[in-house]
Amino acid sequence: MGALVISLDFELNWGVHDVFTLEKYGENILGARLAIPKILQLFLKYDIHATWAIVGMLYCKNKNELLTKLEGLNIPYENESFSPKHNLWQVGENESQDPYHFGYSLIESIKTIPNQEIGTHTFTHYYCLEDGQRTDHFEKDLQAVVQLNEGITSLVFPRNQTNNDYLNVCKTYGINAYRGNEESWIYRAYTSKTNTTTKRMLRLVDTYINLTGHHTFSLKSLQKEPIINIQSSRFLRPYSKQLAVLENLRLRRIKNGLTKAAKDNEFYHLWWHPHNFGKNIDENLHFLEEILKHVDYLRGKYNFQSMHMRDVTDVINIIS
């Protein structure tokens, strides 16, 4: 039995505040709020399991609660702009006044849909490889996550900055799986300083042309200690008007990977951010539905399944 694994990095502006201004990227953030209910309806239609890795700050109902929780956290990056505390000047009072930084109502809507796992994207969108941060800072962040929801068992490292030294800390706080990176040097965990133009360009080309393989995997091949690495297979890059002529290549690239996984009884881990769908919402949803239709076809032909990260962990625990 093979399966599609889906994880979404749900962060709103906390994931990009150090990269884009609200003037430049705010449309994507607000669009994500429109896209999420439609994504959930597609998941319901096609019986899709998914992990929502949520930035803990989105749970806060108002600015006072957010400030209180941040007060006990140390986030001394050498580049101060990485810290959410650097961004507090533009945070409003609550979700109705500031839909860019609060997301409690969206989290509650996710919980109403069957087979959706609530995971974590850390509390502060914590960068685990940037200069200045330390293990004890990361541990404090995870403590804040556990205070929000003791049942969280799956983690996605922000910016995919997997820090192997922190995996035992994760295990201590009940995290037993994370999404690791694809096994190619162009996808290797990087910092703001090591994410070179060459790597970014090669990752873009790999979206359309098979440069690095499909990155499917068997359960036996996964790293399981100290926690399980449910590695990524593909980032679902958003629709681009400039590259629209290549859309069929992008879709074929993903479908071929899914077909390989189904035939070989392997797993294919697809991920993206809701704000990636925040512009060109209809085009992105249509593309996603084409993928899910193919998964439905593979389900009938090869018994291909849909799983979230906790499902994978449960299967591994059963067969171990």
> Which of helix, strand or coil describes residue 120?
strand
Q: What tokens appear for 154 in the block? A: 């799956």
Mean pLDDT score, 26-55: 98
Q: Would the pLDDT of 320 be above 80?
A: no
116-125, 188-197, 278-287, 296-305 — which is least confidently predicted? 188-197
Q: Would the pLDDT of 149 be above 90?
A: no
Q: Per this entry, what is the length of the chain? A: 320
Range of the domain at 53: 3-319
Mean pLDDT score, 69-82: 93
Domain count, the chain: 1
CATH code (residue 218): 3.20.20.370
Residue that has been written with the tokens 């541990």 in this structure: 139
User: Residue 56: pLDDT band by 50, 70, 90 thresholds?
Assistant: very high
Reported pTM: 0.97
**Any residues with CB less than 8 A from the CB of 20 and at least 6 apart, and which?**
none
Q: Would the pLDDT of 97 be above 80?
A: yes
Q: Would the pLDDT of 108 be above 90?
A: yes
Model confidence pLDDT, tens digit, residues 155-167:
999 999 999 999 9
Mean pLDDT score, 273-297: 98
Mean pLDDT score, 105-123: 98
Q: If you average pLDDT over every residue of the chain, what do you get? A: 96
Whether the Cβ atoms of residue 228 and residue 176 lie closer than 8 Å to each other: yes
Model confidence pLDDT, tens digit, residues 3-25:
999 999 999 999 999 999 999 99
Model confidence pLDDT, tens digit, residues 244-261:
999 999 999 999 999 999
215: left (phi over 0), alpha (psi -120 to 50) or beta: left
The pLDDT score that the predictor gives to residue 269 is 98
User: Residue 74: pLDDT band by 50, 70, 90 thresholds?
Assistant: confident
The pLDDT score that the predictor gives to residue 84 is 96
Whether the Cβ atoms of residue 230 and residue 177 lie closer than 8 Å to each other: yes
